[in-house]
Structure 1
Amino acid sequence: MDYFERPERDVASIKLPEWGRVGPSDGPVPFTVYDDADEPIEAVHRYLRDFVARGNSAGSVRSYAYTLLRWWRFLRAVDVAWDRATAVETKDLVLWLQHTEKPVAKRRVASAATAGTVNPVTRKEHLGDQYKPRTVRHSNAVLRAFYEYWIEEGQGPLLNPVPRARRGARPNAHHNALEPFRPEGRLRYNPKVPKQKPRAMPDEAWLDLFKAMKSNRDRAILTLAISTAARASELLGLRACDIDWGDQLIRVRRKGSGAEQWLPASSEAFVWLRLYLAEVSRLRPGDPLWWTLRRQHDGERPRRVELTYDALRAVLRRANGLLGANWSMHDCRHTCALRMARDKNLSLRDVQLLLGHAHLTTTQIYLEDDDAEVVKRVQEHHAERGRLLTAPPRPLPASRYDADDMSVLFANRVAQ
């Protein structure tokens, strides 16, 4: 059949079946994909086993599992076996992701009215019902790695169905030494991601968010985040032995690398941390630092369990509901980074080490002017122009010299 005679799929009409699930798994793989018979999908499970062996975290395994589950559902909807997939299926999946709504859109209740709108307090966009370009790029990266593994194993399709967009036979074959290298080897169907500048939380907004915290534990977490720029997952991974009270340091395990690093925190953060620890029973050195109370069944006494990321998000959700905002824990990290980058006593290298960035170019984004600061300066400019226009006009100079002035200036001559 000629290429132009092949019928194109009606991507808009594709509905993914509610087939399979992602769930915990026994053994070294923390999460895997199960089919309708509640059996692990062998191709996915073996890949995730290799993925774990390469040192990836449980959170990354879970994220990859959900992406592969969506791919399996899509292949089932278009009736294509996983080892017969081509670049056409990848292209159609990207088109489908760009024009369909996420499953969460059907479950929205309170947030249905604000989805995709801009919050008037934070000027941040609420999460919408459409898939973002970063989600599409992540999906392509996961599928590319999945098929690379099976091609190396001698199984699956002959060609990776997630192709690269190469320009020429060899990347930068005729590169001009006076020009920067062109980005080569990007995935063909990766959408462009709009550049976003990090934005600091205004001081007034930070105080409002802090006042909305209902417990010393939440105040301690928030002040640690705003003074150390640690990620939420890094703060939640703290143990009792990770606190240095003498030098006011906390030891975090960096996301991705898992490297341990001591970070200086503010004295205010240690005050709230001391108040929180006075409310909980004595912790052993290896115990998690953050705890909460949960009731498993009605009428049952609440018991102490470890604070999870979802529970921390619920804390911020309640605070944002009171303030009409949509702040996140990552806003605290951006705010701390921008404050440090503007401090003349800290170099960019200092900021890089505190943020845990592998490359200095990642930290350089905090050197750009914050949009809020630019807007503030422009508003001051307009206000100054308005004052100049409304000020009373200056008196015009006289058409002739005043006689008294002339007498003072030429006193001797006038006297003669």
Structure 2
Amino acid sequence: MARNEAQSVADLSSIVLSRIGEVVSTTYPGLPWHVEGLAKSEDDVVLIDDFLRELSANDCSAQTLRSYSFDLLRWWRFLATRGRRWDVATRTDVRDLVLWMRQARIKGYRPATINHQLSVLSVFYEHQARLGAGPVINPVPAGGAGIRRYARHNPLEEYRLQPRQPYRQRVVDCPPRALPDDVIERIFASLRSNRDRALIAMYLSTGVRANELLGMTGRDVDWGNQAIGVISKGTRAYQWVPASPDALTWLRLYLNDGPPQPVGERLWWTLREPRRPLEYSAVRALLRRTNKALGTGITLHDFRHTCATRLANDPSIPITDVQAVLRHVHLSTTARYIRPQTQDMISRVREHHQRPKPNTTADSGPWRHDATDLAELFGGTL
């Protein structure tokens, strides 16, 4: 490797992205999220908005648009640190972005995050190419026919190992991050209010996603059937999910603590005045305080994993019922929760090693024929 190239690779770890731009929510129809404040050129803001509107017209959810906005903003910030424009970006720029993401923040971004970043950039540049803009060649390389790994596979044929596309990271199928019972007890002991206890109990018993729970209103609680109604993230369909009696008890205590709420209003509110609907950022702040107090690294999605693991490993609950609770489209997604927990596996194997071994036979010598069988075979006494 040449000296200049080696120095360039080493410098990637010290890059600090420019802080230009931000992702903000809007009230515009078809554009719930928007990137603004990009330096030097408002034209870039316009073309990003056009791309997001194209996604919205293709029935992408608001959360998808938000995710794409952050990935595009990261790309613009990376290019700004190198003094390059988006329309002259090359494969080398994409490669260096991947290298930087692998090294950034000490441990780097997760492989799935890097792969998502590449997918967003690839689709963005394909959209610009259809409009006759951007570089002649898409800077994000595609392998083979440019389709996803194992896509369009004939189920009658066996799987063959397919190479990953260039720069795509290897994603390891890690076990779900289910929380042990003792950790959950410590979490509840650290919570300060009935609202926080009701939130965590609902996450644990229903397995709903963070924003699904926060979007509920008073009409979405069926006290008689012990269920809550949520709008699913993927399908955006309204579905009922069973809740535990403990979670509903904490919810009733939380509602009794505050002023009466109209049935049609949001269910979750801030505790401080002026009262306002509880947002995702506030729940994350709650969890950060909990992690700091307990010395843990728990995420909100860990509660969904915990609920799914408990249900999937209960022999009295059919796996199809677990699929309905989690609202998975494919049963294979639910089946990944049917696996032994690491701590449980270690405990069982330890018990196996500590169990008394059966007594060995007195005759430990070489294998011999039974004397009675030999006598019968040769017609005499041996």
TM beyond 0.5: yes
Rounded Cα–Cα distance in structure 2 between residues aligned with 1:378 and 1:36: 59
Query: Using a 3 Å threshold, how does the CA distance of structure 1 residues 283 and 358 change in structure 2: closer, same or farther?
Result: same
Larger-Rg structure: 1
Query: Using a 3 Å threshold, how does the CA distance of structure 1 residues 214 and 85 change in structure 2: closer, same or farther?
Result: same
8 Å contact kept, 2:241–2:325: yes
Query: Using a 3 Å threshold, how does the CA distance of structure 1 residues 129 and 381 change in structure 2: closer, same or farther?
Result: same
Gaps of 5+ in 1: 103-127, 295-301, 397-416
Query: Using a 3 Å threshold, how does the CA distance of structure 1 residues 172 and 335 change in structure 2: closer, same or farther?
Result: closer
The aligned residue for residue 337 of structure 1 is 308
| 3-state SS in 1 of match to 2:276 | strand
| 3-state SS in 1 of match to 2:28 | coil
The aligned residue for residue 197 of structure 1 is 175
Task: Check if 1:157 corresponds to 2:155.
Answer: no
Task: Check if 1:268 corresponds to 2:256.
Answer: no
| 3-state SS in 2 of match to 1:234 | helix
**What are the Cα deviations for residues 316-373 of structure 1, in whole angstroms up to 9, with x where unaligned?**
2223333332223222211111111122222111111111111111111111211111
Report which stretch shifted further, 244-253 or 76-85. 76-85
Rounded Cα–Cα distance in structure 2 between residues aligned with 1:367 and 1:382: 25
8 Å contact kept, 2:18–2:80: no
Rounded Cα–Cα distance in structure 2 between residues aligned with 1:199 and 1:273: 25
The residue type equivalent to 1:261 in the other structure is Q
| 3-state SS in 2 of match to 1:270 | helix
- Choose which of 151, 158, 164 in structure 2 pairs with 1:179: 158
The residue type equivalent to 1:363 in the other structure is T
Report which stretch shifted further, 319-328 or 271-280. 319-328
Superposed displacement of residue 72, structure 1: 1.8
Query: Using a 3 Å threshold, how does the CA distance of structure 1 residues 214 and 361 change in structure 2: closer, same or farther?
Result: same
What is the Cα-based RMSD across aligned positions, in Å?
3.2
Rounded Cα–Cα distance in structure 1 between residues aligned with 2:317 and 2:254: 31
- Correspondence list, 1:8-87, <5 A: 8=5, 10-14=8-12, 15-16=15-16, 18-24=18-24, 25=26, 27-28=28-29, 29=31, 30-36=33-39, 39=42, 41-87=45-91
- Choose which of 223, 227, 233 in structure 2 pairs with 1:255: 233
The residue type equivalent to 2:87 in the other structure is D
Query: Using a 3 Å threshold, how does the CA distance of structure 1 residues 135 and 12 change in structure 2: closer, same or farther?
Result: farther
8 Å contact kept, 1:162–1:187: no
8 Å contact kept, 1:199–1:371: no
Report which stretch shifted further, 258-267 or 25-34. 25-34
Rounded Cα–Cα distance in structure 2 between residues aligned with 1:176 and 1:271: 48
Rounded Cα–Cα distance in structure 2 between residues aligned with 1:175 and 1:362: 20
| 3-state SS in 2 of match to 1:250 | strand
The aligned residue for residue 121 of structure 1 is none
The aligned residue for residue 315 of structure 1 is 286
Query: Using a 3 Å threshold, how does the CA distance of structure 1 residues 172 and 182 change in structure 2: closer, same or farther?
Result: farther
Rounded Cα–Cα distance in structure 2 between residues aligned with 1:321 and 1:146: 39
Rounded Cα–Cα distance in structure 2 between residues aligned with 1:257 and 1:156: 33
**What are the Cα deviations for residues 125-153 of structure 1, in whole angstroms up to 9, with x where unaligned?**
xxx65222122111101101111211222
Superposed displacement of residue 191, structure 1: 0.8
Rounded Cα–Cα distance in structure 2 between residues aligned with 1:131 and 1:172: 25
The residue type equivalent to 1:34 in the other structure is G
Query: Using a 3 Å threshold, how does the CA distance of structure 1 residues 237 and 183 change in structure 2: closer, same or farther?
Result: farther
Gaps of 5+ in 2: 363-382
Task: Check if 1:91 corresponds to 2:103.
Answer: no
Query: Using a 3 Å threshold, how does the CA distance of structure 1 residues 168 and 145 change in structure 2: closer, same or farther?
Result: closer
| 3-state SS in 2 of match to 1:65 | helix
Runs of 4+ with >6 A deviation: 171-176
Of all paired residues, the percent bearing the same amino acid is 39
**What are the Cα deviations for residues 85-124 of structure 1, in whole angstroms up to 9, with x where unaligned?**
232322222122223x23xxxxxxxxxxxxxxxxxxxxxx
Task: Check if 1:148 corresponds to 2:126.
Answer: yes
**What are the Cα deviations for residues 371-392 of structure 1, in whole angstroms up to 9, with x where unaligned?**
111011122223335xx69xxx
The aligned residue for residue 405 of structure 1 is none
Report which stretch shifted further, 306-315 or 139-148. 306-315
Query: Using a 3 Å threshold, how does the CA distance of structure 1 residues 363 and 18 change in structure 2: closer, same or farther?
Result: same
Query: Using a 3 Å threshold, how does the CA distance of structure 1 residues 321 and 90 change in structure 2: closer, same or farther?
Result: closer
Task: Check if 1:133 corresponds to 2:111.
Answer: yes
| 3-state SS in 2 of match to 1:287 | coil
8 Å contact kept, 2:18–2:78: no
Superposed displacement of residue 293, structure 1: 3.1
Rounded Cα–Cα distance in structure 1 between residues aligned with 2:85 and 2:283: 41
The residue type equivalent to 1:230 in the other structure is V
Query: Using a 3 Å threshold, how does the CA distance of structure 1 residues 19 and 198 change in structure 2: closer, same or farther?
Result: closer
Normalised TM-score (structure 1): 0.76
The residue type equivalent to 2:95 in the other structure is K
Superposed displacement of residue 38, structure 1: 8.3
Superposed displacement of residue 49, structure 1: 2.3
The residue type equivalent to 2:188 in the other structure is F
Query: Using a 3 Å threshold, how does the CA distance of structure 1 residues 174 and 244 change in structure 2: closer, same or farther?
Result: closer
| 3-state SS in 2 of match to 1:291 | coil
Query: Using a 3 Å threshold, how does the CA distance of structure 1 residues 37 and 158 change in structure 2: closer, same or farther?
Result: closer
The aligned residue for residue 117 of structure 1 is none
